[in-house]
Amino acid sequence: MAFFIYQVSLFFWFLKIRKMASSSAVEDEHLTDSDLTDDEERSVEPRQEELRPETPKPSYSDEELHQLVGYIQRMSVLSCLDHRDWHERTLDIIRRWLLEVHEPLLTIYYDKDALSACLGIPTTCVSDLSYFRREPNEIFSVDGFHDEVNFGTLTSDVDGCLMELLDRLYAPYFRNYLEWNATLRNRFCFSLDRFLAFLTGMHHQISGVAVLYVPFVIKEMAAGPVDRQLVRSLEGIALYWTTQIRTLLGDDTLTVPHDLATVRDEFEFWEYRYEVIQGINDQLAQSDVQKVLLLLHNANSVHSPQMDCLIERAKQELLKSLSNIKYLHLLIEPCSKIDEAASPADLTKLLPRIIHLIRFIWLNSDYYNTTRLITGLFRNLSNQIIRFCTNQTKVEEILSGKPRFGIKICNAAIDCCLAYRGIYDKISKDLAQKQTQLAWDLDEGLIFNHIDAFVERLNDVIDICESMIVFGRLDENGSIPKPAFGGTCGEELEKIAESVEHQFLGTLNHLQDTSQAYILNVHRSDWYKDVGNFRRSMQKLEETVQRLIFNVFQHVSNVEETLEALQAMLFFSYRQRGTLRKTYLKETSKLWRMFSKEMDDTSRKLLEERRQESWLSKNVSTALSYRINLERLTWLRDRLKNAEWLPPVKESSPALVKFDSLRHEFQKEIRQAYEDWVVKCCGVSGDLCQRLDRYLIVRSKKFKGLLECNIDPSVLELCEQAQHFERMGFAIPNTLKKLYERFDVIRSLYNGIIHLALSHNRILSVLSERERKLFRPLTQACDRQLAPGIFKITYESELNEEYFEDGKEFIAEFQELVHIFKRANRGVARSCEKICDTCLLHFAFSGSVDMSVFQQQLSSRLSSSFDILRSYYSKIVELLSAFSRQFQSVEDEMSVEWIAYVNDMDDMLASSLMTSARGSLTKLYEALHCDEDMESAPVIVLESDVKDGEIVFSPDMNAIADMINGIVDSIRSMLDQFPRLGYKLKLPKKQQRQGFACVFREDQECSELMRSIQAEIGIQREAIAKYESVWNQHRVLWETTEEEFRQRIQSSSRTAGVFEGGIEHYSALADDVIFEDAITNVYFILVNQNALKTTILDWIEKWQALNIKMLLDHASNLMRATYRYMRRNERNVLKVPRTIRETVAAKQLLEQLLKEVPLKQSAFSPMLELFVLLHKYQVQLTEKTHQQVMGLESAWLHYLQVLGEADEMLDNEDSETKLELAKHGEKFKLILKEFLEDFYSKLPKK
């Protein structure tokens, strides 16, 4: 694909040259050969690339765009193009190319069967395509589209298409392009011819054909004078021809660097060479080539002699190729049989003929007779053998899990390779001696180096196969079990073996992934590194297995364990390379030595046992010991002999010989023991059958009431000894034969009596003396049943099965009754234990709860406990009733013992109920009681509050005491609901016990616990009274009335200190109340003080608010009085006196006010302290009062200013009065003078 893109790009470069021709012609018009050298041409600096302008956007109408798409559709030329194949997706890509002007190339092609298009070169392989190319950012016009666009068609033969296009179209065009000057045109055409020659050679070289390039102009050239530049161009082409032909003729050896060339490959190479040289000769004989050669010869070209020599040499090489083909053809048929061989072994039968044929070619061929070619031929034969064996080996199948097949086929391949070398050596020596005219001096190293490398690779595969069996447990013939080891370390050893297997499988998988393809490829040297890594990994695994084997055999202690360990690790012995098999053989030798030592130990042990006592007789014990040990050793010998998988070792034969000798000795000892026993039996005096005249059973003298078997022990001993020897295959002596014939009957009688006696004794042994008295009637009945065996039947009698069946049946019934009795006792005891463990009271809650919850939970627990006790009580009654029903037949004979037994059970039940009641009362007492040195743990919650001037509790102590006493009464009444067992089992009324409630009342521990509970209630009352006295310290808060509080405040000095002291007092009191816990422990009661605290805080808040209110009222009144005083006096002092009297009065008032100023100022500080106190406690003032407080200073200064003004006014008023009086006096004088004058004037005169 890359070559395809390269060729297309080159083609577009030629298209670009065409468009640049017109612009380049003007610049190159004045250039000649001397004007521009190659160095100068290279030194021309390229023009700096201009900045790319912004990409334009075409503006086509829908009709224009549709018309352009139609042009492209009609201009597309593809093989088998059908207009019905156009679909919308392809058309969308065409529209996109027309609108996106930065995309230079559009291609249209068939992708499989679908017509497709893309912007650029397609990424898939196509047979042909149509291309459309534009200049960067070129916008097509509808009218000039055909002139503006570059388009064409390319086939899959890109270089051929390009070659034809250049040769047939562009080359003639450029040769006749007159707008260029001659120099430029000739240089360009010369370069174009060289390129076409190279392109032609490369194009046909891919097809394996050498084609000479002949310019198309030669075919059209007429006779006449030839241009010098054309001759120069033809010389360049001829020079390329000489290079092509010389290279072709020099390639006379088959070279396959990384493959195995065979004889057929050599034959096909010479066939191919013949075809290529024949093609060259045919081309050289063509008219156009001859025309070129003639032109060069006429022009006296220096290349003409070279071409003549090459043409002659090509003819000679053609003859040589034909001869070699003729002789090599002799090897094709026998060598083809190699590939058809069924196995490597069959292949070796074909090799002698092939070697003789190669020798024939060597001797008779005119050209194929050099040592180099013959060595190569033998090397090709080696390669073919390697290729056949490689195909037969199937490495992939072997590594997938067929190591046995791999070992077999690899060994066969190795044998084949070695046989090939042996045949070659034998034939070469024989022929060298017979045909001395041509020595056999071939390079065997070159012939067999691949064979040797291949054999080494096969050995590597065998090593891998052995490792697969040893380390991976891979075997196609059967499943190799995982190694299993016994002992305490067995699991750990199995984990080590499993770890080895996992590591090997990982290595094998890595080998499959990386090296599987080239394991047998002798050309790949990578395998040496891989096999080195593999062997290092195997060495590590081998060391691990070595340690595993050492650890396994370190823990084995006998032949069986050693054999099992060897069998478990058998597959480790399959690996020939390394030391594993040697280690395995070493352990196998130890196994046989261990077996030999076992025989020695057995002999020594038997000799020691003969000096020890045995529970059997000496003769029988000796015979049995030798027989058992002989059978054991025989079993070990058989296991070892049957273990065919054990590899042979030198220690096995001596061990087997030693066993045969030991077996003979053991059999001899067994025979001697039997003969000694026979002598002993014959020495017994009297008739042995007289020892059977004894009763079957006798009462025991040592153990009262028990029975014993009355047989003579010597009878059983003799019969058993005879039985042992009989089983060992020896005859019974005549003196013992009659007694031994009755041995089965005697043994049956003995076993039956033993069974009856043991059953009888077992019953009595489990009964105490008191229980035996209870069961005396049944015991006497059993003795009557067994009486015939005690007083009548002897061992000489025949077997009386009815006697034994009746005895067994009666004893079984007796045993069942005793079992019911014991089961009833155990059931009653278990029920009583459960009753003892049953607590009637249970505090399921954690912490304290309300009294209703406390009472409800305890009542619920009492109810459920009563049901539990009722079930236990019912079970006890049921068990005793069931046992009582069994004694109905003998009830009259055991009344006293039965009554005592029932009363014992009843007392035990009463004790259990009392224990449960004590535990319950103790539980209640522990819940109420608290030690002095421990913090109390309250269980009941109550609330405290102040109502009607008193501290009250909800609920009160009387209710709590009644509730606790009610719980105790409930326990007593619950016990009274259970009847006594004597009443339930209908004992005589006089023999019945009093009720459980009476027992509860009379029980000292219960009475003591109830008194303790009452004492705890008393302690709680005292604690409550003490708690109440603590809170009564604040009773003044709720006992004081509002009137009394106001009188107490008004009777005080009502200074800021007084009010602040009251505020702080109530605040501190409130803090103390708040800091008190919301709940507090008062012995076993948890008091909720929230309501009490809230009530007290409400009282505190009330008095605090009243105190602050009185403070505010008092301060506000003082402030208002001060302002009234200032306003009144300001008004009074500012009145202008109209008379002297008023003046005098004003002066007196002013003097009085001035005297009061210090007094009034001294009262300001206490008054302002009241307002500071109000501000401190953030008491809200009225707006008017706030303004008065803030304006007090300015108002007082204004007041003082008014007093000053009043003083000044009064002083001024005094001066003006005097002047006015003087004025009025003068006026009065004038008036009086006028009056006097008028008076005197009007007086009558005398």
CA 1191 vs. chain centroid, Å, equals 84
Q: How confident is the model at residue 415 (pLDDT cuts 50, 70, 90)?
A: very high
**From 42-51, 477-486, 1052-1061, the region with the lowest mean pLDDT:** 42-51
Residues, the chain: 1246
Query: Which among 168, 153, 312, 301 is positioned nearest to 234, based on CA atoms?
Result: 301
Whether the CB-CB separation of 157 and 132 falls below 8 Å is answered with no
H-helix or E-strand spanning residue 994: none
Q: Which class for 696: exposed (0-12), middle (13-18), buried (19 or more C-beta within 10 A)?
A: buried
In angstroms, rounded to a whole number, what is the distance separating the alpha carbons of residues 946 and 954? 11
**From 759-768, 1056-1065, 1156-1165, the region with the lowest mean pLDDT:** 759-768
In angstroms, rounded to a whole number, what is the distance separating the alpha carbons of residues 348 and 413? 10
Give the position of tokens 């899959």.
Answer: 156
Collapsed DSSP state (helix, strand, coil) of residue 1082: strand
Q: Which of 232-241, 455-464, 815-824, 1085-1094 has the highest mean pLDDT?
A: 455-464
Dihedral sign, Cα of residue 747, residue 750, residue 752, residue 758: negative
Whether the CB-CB separation of 106 and 117 falls below 8 Å is answered with yes
Query: CA angle, 601 as apex, 599 and 603 as ends, to 5°?
Result: 70
In angstroms, rounded to a whole number, what is the distance separating the alpha carbons of residues 119 and 111? 14
Whether the CB-CB separation of 1009 and 918 falls below 8 Å is answered with yes
Mean pLDDT over 96-117 rounds to 89
Q: How confident is the model at residue 20 (pLDDT cuts 50, 70, 90)?
A: very low
Mean pLDDT over 876-892 rounds to 68
* Distance in angstroms between the alpha carbons of the first and the last residue of the chain: 178
Beta-strand runs (E) in 849-906: 849-850
Give pLDDT, residue 132. 92
C-alpha pair distances (Å), 981 with each of 875, 888, 900: 12, 18, 12
Whether the CB-CB separation of 827 and 879 falls below 8 Å is answered with yes
Pairing verdict, β 697-699 and 707-709: antiparallel
Query: CA angle, 263 as apex, 257 and 265 as ends, to 5°?
Result: 55
- Please say if the pLDDT value at position 621 is more than 60: yes
Give the position of tokens 């073919």.
Answer: 384
pLDDT in tens, 452-466: 988 998 898 888 888
What is the SS3 string spanning 401-448?
Answer: CCHHHHHHHHHHHHHHHHHHHHHHHHHHHHHHHHCCCCCCCCCHHHHH
Collapsed DSSP state (helix, strand, coil) of residue 970: helix
pLDDT in tens, 1217-1232: 666 656 666 665 676 6
Collapsed DSSP state (helix, strand, coil) of residue 153: strand
Q: How confident is the model at residue 133 (pLDDT cuts 50, 70, 90)?
A: very high
DSSP of 85-117, one letter per residue? Answer: G--HHHHHHHHHHHH-TT--EEEEEEETTEEEE
Whether the CB-CB separation of 927 and 1084 falls below 8 Å is answered with yes
Give pLDDT, residue 117. 92
Give pLDDT, residue 1082. 80
Per-residue tokens: 793: 């039947």
Give pLDDT, residue 743. 63
What is the SS3 string spanning 690-750?
Answer: HHHCCECEEECCCCCCCEEECCCHHHHHHHHHHHHHHHCCCCCCHHHHHHHHCHHHHHHHH
CA 339 vs. chain centroid, Å, equals 54
Residue 766 identity (one-letter amino acid) = V
pLDDT > 70 fraction of the chain, expressed in percent and rounded: 80
Give pLDDT, residue 1067. 82
Looking at residue 1033, the DSSP 8-state letter turns out to be G
Per-residue exposure over 298-317, b if at least 16 CB sit within 10 Å of its own CB, e if not: ebebebbebbeebbeebeeb
In angstroms, rounded to a whole number, what is the distance separating the alpha carbons of residues 1196 and 1123? 9
Give pLDDT, residue 22. 36
Query: Which among 370, 416, 371, 418 is positioned nearest to 391, based on CA atoms?
Result: 416
Q: What is the CA radius of gyration of the chain?
A: 69
Report which of residues 296 and 367 the model is more confident about. Answer: 367
Report which of residues 324 and 895 the model is more confident about. Answer: 324
Phi, then psi, of 738 in degrees rounded to 5: -65, -45
Report which of residues 739 and 564 the model is more confident about. Answer: 564
Give pLDDT, residue 499. 83
In angstroms, rounded to a whole number, what is the distance separating the alpha carbons of residues 738 and 926? 84
**From 403-407, 409-413, 425-429, 495-499, the region with the lowest mean pLDDT:** 495-499
Query: Which among 515, 511, 259 is positioned nearest to 387, based on CA atoms?
Result: 259
Whether the CB-CB separation of 775 and 767 falls below 8 Å is answered with yes
Neighbours of 280 (CB within 10 A): 25
pLDDT in tens, 738-789: 665 566 666 777 777 777 778 777 777 777 777 777 767 777 677 777 766 6
Mean pLDDT over 123-128 rounds to 85
- Please say if the pLDDT value at position 13 is more than 50: no
Q: How confident is the model at residue 5 (pLDDT cuts 50, 70, 90)?
A: very low
Q: How confident is the model at residue 26 (pLDDT cuts 50, 70, 90)?
A: very low
Give pLDDT, residue 1232. 61
Pairing verdict, β 1079-1082 and 1085-1088: antiparallel
Report which of residues 564 and 1057 the model is more confident about. Answer: 1057
Mean pLDDT over 230-253 rounds to 77
Mean pLDDT over 185-190 rounds to 74
- Please say if the pLDDT value at position 300 is more than 80: no
In angstroms, rounded to a whole number, what is the distance separating the alpha carbons of residues 185 and 175? 7
Per-residue tokens: 1051: 């009777």
CA 58 vs. chain centroid, Å, equals 61
In angstroms, rounded to a whole number, what is the distance separating the alpha carbons of residues 1123 and 1199? 10
In angstroms, rounded to a whole number, what is the distance separating the alpha carbons of residues 500 and 570? 15
**From 101-110, 131-140, 709-718, 1142-1151, the region with the lowest mean pLDDT:** 709-718
C-alpha pair distances (Å), 1234 with each of 318, 1221, 1224, 1246: 191, 19, 15, 22
Give the position of tokens 């109340």.
Answer: 1073
Pairing verdict, β 849-850 and 940-947: parallel
Phi, then psi, of 1074 in degrees rounded to 5: -65, -40
pLDDT in tens, 895-924: 677 777 777 787 888 888 888 888 888 888
pTM summary value:
0.47
Whether the CB-CB separation of 219 and 289 falls below 8 Å is answered with no
Report which of residues 988 and 64 the model is more confident about. Answer: 64
**From 44-58, 476-490, 712-726, 1192-1206, the region with the lowest mean pLDDT:** 44-58
Whether the CB-CB separation of 575 and 581 falls below 8 Å is answered with yes
Neighbours of 761 (CB within 10 A): 16
Collapsed DSSP state (helix, strand, coil) of residue 376: helix
Report which of residues 687 and 346 the model is more confident about. Answer: 346
In angstroms, rounded to a whole number, what is the distance separating the alpha carbons of residues 830 and 377? 104
Give pLDDT, residue 220. 57
pLDDT > 90 fraction of the chain, expressed in percent and rounded: 2
In angstroms, rounded to a whole number, what is the distance separating the alpha carbons of residues 338 and 151? 57
Give pLDDT, residue 716. 63
Whether the CB-CB separation of 265 and 331 falls below 8 Å is answered with no
Give Cβ neighbours of residue 822 (< 8 Å, ≥ 6 apart).
766
Give pLDDT, residue 1085. 82
Give the position of tokens 């015939």.
Answer: 788
Mean pLDDT over 558-565 rounds to 74
In angstroms, rounded to a whole number, what is the distance separating the alpha carbons of residues 356 and 331? 10
In angstroms, rounded to a whole number, what is the distance separating the alpha carbons of residues 863 and 967? 12
Whether the CB-CB separation of 891 and 898 falls below 8 Å is answered with yes
Per-residue tokens: 169: 């179209």
- Please say if the pLDDT value at position 616 is more than 80: no
pLDDT in tens, 82-92: 888 898 889 99
Looking at residue 131, the DSSP 8-state letter turns out to be E
Neighbours of 538 (CB within 10 A): 23
- Please say if the pLDDT value at position 634 is more than 80: yes
Give pLDDT, residue 714. 60
Give pLDDT, residue 11. 41
Average pLDDT, the chain: 77
Give pLDDT, residue 964. 83
Give pLDDT, residue 14. 38
Give Cβ neighbours of residue 346 (< 8 Å, ≥ 6 apart).
none
Per-residue tokens: 183: 């120099």
Mean pLDDT over 650-665 rounds to 82
Q: Which class for 693: exposed (0-12), middle (13-18), buried (19 or more C-beta within 10 A)?
A: exposed
